Amino acid sequence: MYAMLLLLLSVLLILAPLVLLLRNAKRARLIRLVDKIPGPPSYPFVGSELSLLLAPRNKQWGLLQMRLRKYQPIMRTWVGPIAVVHLTRPEHIEILLSSTRHLEKSFAYKFIEPWLGTGLLTATGGQKWHVHRKMITPTFHFSILDSFVEVFSEKSEILVKKLQKEVGSPGFDMFPYVTHCALDIICETAMGTPVNAQEEAESSTYVRALYDISRLITRRVPRPWLHNDFLYKLTRDGRRHNECLEVLHGFTKKVIQERKKTRLNSSRTISEQQEDEGIGKKKRLAFLDMLLDASEGGTKLTDEEIREEVDTFMFAGHDTTSASICWALLLLGLHPHVQSKVHEELQCIFQGSDRPPTMKDLADMKLLERVIKESLRVYPSAPLFSRLLREDIEIGGYTIPAGSTLRVNVYCLHRNPDQFPNPEKFDPDNFLPERVAKRHPYAYIPFSAGPRNCIGQKFALLEEKTVLSYMLRHYELRSRDSREDMNLLAEIILRPENRVRMSIKARRKEGAEMRSS
């Protein structure tokens, strides 16, 4: 026994220095290769990000863009000991995103994991991610999205009514109205459970928790002193974070349990339940129902895995969509001639009727679709995203070593003048088919691209078309602030520092105009 222990200690004494030597050699190689890439000066322990962290919150995004313009197309920074390589060119980004070997998200996503677990957004790209992606993809089929349009319309009608009190106002913040509408939509389509955010946002514990946890995660990510879980839990933010988790997880788990009990009373599948036998009326679906149905029919998901995917859908489909709609409204309010043309398109489709849009109507909104796409080019909802490299990659003449983080700067990518001439100009014609055909396929990626592209992008586009078409059919909008007045904050999503101030005027119906003439 003693001899065995002595042998074990001897092996450890020999191996420990070797492991340290190999680790140091690997680290030295990473530093050597990364520092060949242009970038700002870096200092021990603090890296090269200290000036950004010390800058006022509303100046950080502008400083990052200045750096990128100086060092582009590829820039190296150090966030403490972490090497971050920034990409801004489509041909470089294609190498990363088109690969099936570089699917792991960066360390920043770990701060979302307490809420979302390892669902599609945060999973590393291993077996679980592949299985869930394959299973969830059919839930965004065209025929299923068709059933969601009814929800989009119902919530948009409430939004239009809520905005009536702002008619004639010299200016009001559009963001809360749109955000509450988007939250109503995502709750009902994800869980089949209304939260009535547009009517009861102030009194809803779930709504407040959803807002608060997004704000807390946003505040934590850029602050290294809040990264340690133990220390974070001792702070006021950490305590509120845990309270929010209890509310959000408790709500989702309760909905899942209630839905499973309901399903036990019926042996029919979702497809069989779509037609209500007495009246032939389609049953309204929810993402949760389809997950439960898919799980019963094939790959089994635990309640926790189902909860992770429903919460992921809630997170990914709420803030991003509301921000996208608000940016589109800002730009339309600054370009009345474009807004007028969109209204003409809607008049041709609806002929002055207040009826809800059909899928065909939404498909016919060609100009509005171009407006949405151009808005996402100018103001991408997700302006940055990152991948952690587990093996070396060659990009732009540089070997970027395993262990580095690759950061795709979508905001900068969408402003490449060789891909978008006069890139700061709002021009929906950038998305005419003949122009799109001439561009690099990775020059425009508001929903990412490649194997880990956004699975809900068709859902988002249909939702945005529905909400915007309702608003533009009922109101004429004007923006009270210029683009230069909008300080950008790029945290989890790209949002304005303050408000999206607008004024609205009710549109006259075609019939009313004819009677008055």
List the pLDDT tens digit at each of the 517 positions of the chain.
555 555 555 555 554 454 444 458 888 999 999 999 999 988 877 788 878 777 887 888 889 999 999 998 999 999 888 899 999 999 999 999 999 888 888 877 888 899 988 888 877 767 777 778 887 877 777 677 888 999 999 999 999 999 999 998 999 999 999 999 998 999 899 888 888 888 876 667 888 888 888 888 878 876 778 888 999 999 999 999 999 999 999 999 988 888 888 877 765 554 555 454 444 445 667 888 888 887 776 667 888 888 998 888 888 888 899 999 999 999 999 999 999 999 999 999 999 898 999 999 999 999 999 999 999 999 999 999 999 999 999 999 999 999 999 999 999 999 999 999 999 999 999 999 999 999 999 999 999 999 888 888 999 999 999 999 999 999 999 999 999 988 888 777 888 888 889 999 999 775 444 333 3
pLDDT for 281 equals: 47
| Of 92, 99, 51, residue with least CA distance to 75 | 92
Are the CB atoms for 444 and 410 separated by under 8 Å? no
Q: Is 141 left (phi over 0), alpha (psi -120 to 50) or beta?
A: beta
The answer to whether 454 is annotated as binding is yes
Helix axis angle, 236-264 relative to 303-316, nearest 10°?
120
What is residue 227's DSSP assignment? -
Per-residue pLDDT, 153: 96
- List, for residues 247-263, the tens digit of each pLDDT value: 999 999 988 888 888 87
Q: What is the pLDDT of residue 19?
A: 43
CATH of domain 47-516: 1.10.630.10
Which pLDDT does position 288 carry in this prediction?
87
Measured distance CA(7)–CA(198) in Å, rounded: 70
Side-chain-side CA neighbours of 434 within 13 Å: the count stands at 1
d(CA 253, CA 247): 10
Q: Domain extents for the chain?
A: 47-516
What's the confidence (pLDDT) of residue 94? Answer: 96
Q: How large is the angle between the packed helices 175-191 and 319-334, nearest 10 degrees? A: 140
Give the per-residue pLDDT at 37: 95
What lies within 8 Å, CB to CB, of 294 at 6+ separation is 135, 136, 138, 139, 301
Task: Give the separation between CA 371 and CA 464, rounded to whole angstroms.
Answer: 11
pLDDT at residue 36, as a whole number:
95
Structure tokens, 156: 């948009």
Q: Is this structure's pTM higher than 0.85?
A: yes
The pLDDT, as a whole number, for residue 331 is 97
Which pLDDT score, from 0 to 100, does residue 381 have? Answer: 92
Which DSSP state fits 88?
-
The owner of tokens 């980004």 is: 93
Distance between first and last Cα of the chain: 106
Phi, psi of 404 (to 5 degrees): -85, 160
Listed residue (26, 48, 45) closest to 37, CA to CA: 48
